Structure 1
Amino acid sequence: MSDLQNLYQELILDHSRTPHGYGLREAVAAQSHQVNPTCGDEVTLQVHRGADGRVEAIAWEGHGCAISQASASLLAELAEGLSTDDLGVRIAAFREAMRSRGRIEPDEALLGDAAALGGVSKYVARVKCAMLAWVAAEDALSRE
């Protein structure tokens, strides 16, 4: 395994062990619950926006594999301070990379540390795990 792959693997494990944004809040701007029926991973995700309309925080709770948990954590970290349009652009870019079966490298400038999940796209059965929180965020935003 290359040094970069080791770094990415460690980043994913770190985010699954100590997730960013974990814990739901009482005041909810937009919320979505998503389930991956293939493996049973679940996430409930809230998008909290500040007075300026930007994403103040993504709060979430769920259970599942390290990939789904790390992906939710990475999304929560990435989304802070973004406009909902900018978040939508990042969700679309992440989806494109995940569906590419390894042909498209995630844009680290756009996705930050979430680009570490790029290798997941080579494993079709795991793509839904990585996408779960991102689909929940997209759904929550569409409900506003």
Structure 2
Amino acid sequence: MTPPRLVVGAALLSDGRLLAARRTAPAALAGRWELPGGKLEPGETAPGALVRELREELGVEAEPLERVPGQWRVAGGTLVLQVWTARLLAGSPRPLQDHDELRWLRQAEVDTVDWLPQDRPAVRWVASRLGDGS
């Protein structure tokens, strides 16, 4: 059996807020919200893939900070998701690929979007560390 391919997700943080991205594809996921990211390319590290994916998908430069504890199987187990917190360094996120809307969410707002199931544990972990935004 082939081991699952690694996917990295970014809990992108700025000013005490978490970035949520609404998917446009595939159809089964369209309209749901996720932490942006994507699959590792051969020879890439998880932090390196995170930097590349945020540049490609959102047009921003970011610095990976800390891996969120845990990992979650996706796509029937063919993929495994790891999430990293990341700090926005430069740029203003815009939906360039795979997304049609972005939202910056404060701690009290993270439950206002319909997160993909595999992202929920990481979102909860990150949200618990955001503070109340006051």
- Indicate the TM-score class for this superposition, using the shorter chain for normalisation: under 0.3
TM-score by length of 1: 0.25
Greater share of helix residues, 1 or 2?
1
Greater share of strand residues, 1 or 2?
2
TM-score by length of 2: 0.27
Which of structures 1 and 2 has the larger relative contact order (alpha carbons within 8 angstroms, sep 6+)?
2
